Amino acid sequence: MLQQIEFSPDDRVLDLGCVYGVVGILAAKLIGQDKVTMCDSSETAVYYSKNNAKLNQVPDIDVKLSNGYENIGNNDFTVILSNPPYHTDFSVAKHFIEGGFHKLVLGGRMLMVTKRLTWYKNKFTSVFGGCKIHEINGYYIFIAEKRTALIKKKDKNPNKLSKKLQHKYKK
């Protein structure tokens, strides 16, 4: 996954499911520790991530104990990086992908590395409208960009303006 990302100095990065912190620590070394948040649902993972951040001279990375996005208040990430657990059902990955869309700014990217192709390709396509896929050594790296807001399924005509907006633009 890290082979497929180039960080920008303006990036705001979330390492989702950071485990021991290698991804977030690398991002912090490249763009600054104040621009990186790392989270994991495991207290042990958070402990090791904090220790590894100190050992790698980026002790001020924001490392949170969080079940997915539960304790992540920011909605202004430009990059979300994740390697979801492989040995669970797809509910964790579904939560990561759907929640990630809402945590990204317009133009923000989500990168995820997995061992499976079809389900992830379909999920990224349904949420983001598509994705790029790279296969490297039996792993799939998905890259999706937030280009628009999600359209609610009950809206049968997504090009039709709401009554509130129609009134606004008539003036």
| pLDDT, tens digit (0-9, with 9 covering 90-100), for 83-96 | 988 777 899 999 99
Q: What is the pLDDT of residue 86?
A: 74
The whole-model pTM stands at 0.86
169 pLDDT above the threshold of 50: no
| Angstrom distance (rounded) from CA 14 to CA 78 | 8
**The predicted structure's pLDDT at residue 130:** 95
Which pairs from 68-71 meet CB under 8 Å and 24+ separation? 68/16, 68/41, 68/92, 68/95, 68/96, 68/99, 69/16, 69/95, 69/99, 69/100, 69/103, 71/39
What pLDDT is recorded for position 85?
Answer: 83
Distance CA 60, CA 82 (A): 21
Assess whether pLDDT exceeds 50 at residue 35.
yes
Strand order through the sheet with 36-40: 62-65, 36-40, 13-16, 77-82, 104-114, 139-145, 132-136
pLDDT for 108-163, tens place per residue? 999 999 999 999 999 999 999 999 999 999 999 999 999 986 655 554 444 444 44
SS3 category, 38: strand
Q: Using an 8 Å Cβ cutoff, are 6 and 13 in contact?
A: no
Alpha-carbon span 112 to 141, nearest angstrom? 6
Decide if pLDDT at 168 tops 50.
Answer: no
> Which pair of structure tokens corresponds to residue 5?
């990302």
Q: Is the pLDDT of residue 64 over 80?
A: yes
pLDDT above 90: percentage of residues in the chain: 81
Residue 6 CA to residue 109 CA, distance in Å, equals 11
12-34 pLDDT tens trace = 999 999 999 999 999 999 999 99
Using DSSP, state whether 169 is helix, strand or coil. helix
Cα separation values, 117 from 50, 61, 109, 138, 142, Å: 32, 32, 19, 10, 9
Q: Residue 46's pLDDT band (boundaries 50, 70, 90)? A: very high
